[in-house]
Amino acid sequence: MSQKALYCTSASDFWVDTVDNISKEADIQPCYWIVNSNEVDRDINNLFPDCVVHDIYDCRKGILPEEYSSFEFSEYPVDEDILTTFRETESTVLSMMDRADMGNATDEGFSYGERLRHYHNLLSQWRYIIDKLEIDYSIFSDIPHNAATYVLYRVCREQGVETVLITRTTVNDRCYTRSRIHHTNDVFGNESDNDSLSPELKEYLDQIRGDYTTAEPEYMQNQNPYLPNLNHSIREYIVKWWYFSPTSVLKRDKQLYSDSRMNKYSWLLYRFRAEIYKQRLKHEYANRSIHPDLTNKFLYFPLHYQPERTTSPEGGDFVNQYLAIELLANVLPNHIKIFVKEHPSQFSFQPDGDRGRTVEDYEFLNSINQVSLVEQNTSSFDLIDSSIAVSTVTGTAGWEGLVRLTPSLVFGDAWYSACPGCFKVKTKEEVSSAINRILNGINIKKRDIENFLIKIDDISEVVTQNPANKNAHQENVDSLTRLILRHIGESRF
């Protein structure tokens, strides 16, 4: 008997072939697809005539596709029982709406009341649509990390729809699947049949164990604030401005979010003001940071770039990173410092760092006992190697620490949180226990890290985000098909 699936994916062409594969191999038919419809090269409706296509920009603003345009919110009202059921969802979703808030750089903001109304609208919409669709699966090409798709994910979980989340690691484009955002350890239950690393993964580990100049992630190299490719950035802005489409997800003042529009001149003015704001942030951070003495005992806490998936939703309540830092300061002995380093991307030319940080954030962190902000040009690997431990919400530095045999404390659901030497902590008691174990001496062995990487290799597939050739395209299709069908127990590929 045919089954039905809702898809929320990137606009990459290989996803169209993946969905086609799954429809043929497992008779799971797409009935609803959230995607950037302007960037999909092929006509989804021709391939799947019964599938509703919902543009991602409309989705994020609560604009329903034509097939559901007659929906009235009074049909699915939000009552106290619904609010109680989704209580944890609310705080996460309101935080995610920072992505639409220009308030730090401009006079236009996304108020608490407006955010709450949008959240309630999303709750009504998705409860209605999921009831009408009667789907078996909802499949996401990434961890849902905007307000609309996260509410969709939570409604699916609550209404018994199987969720399949493609989870990216930093291990050479490897991805695996999980059902729930906040249960990363569930996928590592079985022992591996393999006992040795592939040459490719050995080279990967050697790279991280080496110098930071060779191990720095590619996305960081592209955003390096000390070696900016200014001409490239300006050219990219001009191209974006020239081809600008008024599908912006930014909230305009005195407009309902669903009606917010921005012309190319308004967008360019906002981006100009945002860059000025970020340069001010960078200056204020530099004024408050110190050159760290790495001979003293300290714990290293690199801040996440925000707003981003790695803290919202994967960080849960610790999207507010100061909560984690305060917990650590409360538990650590007075002679052990906490060195906090800002993420370079917070100030870089392209990302939207203006929406994720304020000068007051730096002032507050510096006011916490034992905490010092450290200079941006301090080597991350020097900080990792000299520290008693690395602490992060879910960041790459925690994994780099483990590979370099430095213990890590993570406050969120990092893909590597099941690795030996990593302490997943949420409460004061858990932080205290982890710190005591670290101070008493914890021996992380290279073989433990290698065994964990072998497990990752067992459960993952390589999915290249931007395939440059046709072979990579087909490899992605095969990898995603295997991942998804293996997850739902229907693998016949």
Residue 331 CB neighbour total at 10 angstroms? 18
3-state SS assignment for residue 310: coil
Across the range 250-263, mean pLDDT stands at: 90
Residue 264 CB neighbour total at 10 angstroms? 15
3-state SS assignment for residue 87: helix
Which pLDDT score is estimated for 37? 82
Rg (alpha carbons) of the chain, rounded to whole number: 23
Q: Are 50 and 78 in contact (CB under 8 A)?
A: no
If pLDDT is split at 50, 70 and 90, which confidence band does 493 have?
A: very low
Which pLDDT score is estimated for 321? 98
* 309-348 residue pLDDT tens: 999 999 999 999 999 999 999 999 999 999 999 999 999 9
Which pLDDT score is estimated for 491? 39
Across the range 276-283, mean pLDDT stands at: 96
Which pLDDT score is estimated for 186? 63
Continuous segment of H or E residues that includes residue 301? strand 298-302
Q: How far apart are CA 163 and CA 467, in angstroms?
A: 26
* 343-390 residue pLDDT tens: 999 999 767 899 999 999 999 999 999 999 999 999 999 999 999 999
Tell if the pTM clears 0.75, that is, is over it: yes
Q: How far apart are CA 278 and CA 282, in angstroms?
A: 6
What region, left, alpha or beta, does residue 172 occupy, with left being phi > 0 and alpha being psi -120 to 50 degrees? left
Average per-residue pLDDT for the chain: 91
Percent of the chain whose predicted confidence (pLDDT) is above 90 = 78
Which pLDDT score is estimated for 268? 85
CA atoms within 13 Å, Cβ hemisphere of 294: 14
Q: Are 371 and 340 in contact (CB under 8 A)?
A: yes
CA of residue 6 relative to chain centroid, distance:
21
Which pLDDT score is estimated for 42? 76
Task: State how beta strands 389-392 and 298-302 pair.
Answer: parallel
Which pLDDT score is estimated for 293? 97
Out of 59-73, 81-95, 162-176, 358-372, which region has the weakest mean confidence (pLDDT)?
Answer: 59-73
* 414-457 residue pLDDT tens: 999 999 999 999 999 999 999 999 999 999 999 999 999 999 99
- Is the per-residue pLDDT at 228 higher than 60? no
